[in-house]
Amino acid sequence: MAQNTQSKILSIEEQIQKLKEKQKREIAKLEKNTGKRFLEKFKLENKPLDEIYSFIEKLQEVIEIDSEGNLILNDSNNEKLNHEQSNK
């Protein structure tokens, strides 16, 4: 009986480990796909990495995300963004 219980525990632990590995793979796939889409949407596919990071930093200055995941445009940076866009 004790051996049967231990076998079940081992089986459950193996299943948990497999699920954790699957979760890691799925998260990696999600990150890859969302990153690819982000680069495509903002036409950053052929830009150097430092330029992409700079773009993300500027985006963070202009947009905030509240606790519910809603995007909020920072009014103080709105003029700066419009000015930079009109210069392009």
What tens digit of pLDDT does each residue of 9-22 get? 999 999 999 999 99
Say if CB 73 and CB 63 are below 8 A apart: yes
Q: Is 69 helix (H, G, I), strand (E, B) or coil?
A: coil
Q: How many C-beta atoms lie closer than 10 Å to residue 38's C-beta?
A: 14
pLDDT tens digits, one per residue of 21-34: 999 999 999 999 99
E strand residue ranges, the chain: 63-65, 71-73
| pTM given for the model | 0.60
CA 44 to chain centre: 16
Q: What is the pLDDT of residue 87?
A: 46
Q: What is the pLDDT of residue 79?
A: 52
**The residue type at 35:** G
pLDDT tens digits, one per residue of 36-71: 999 999 999 999 999 999 999 999 999 988 889 888
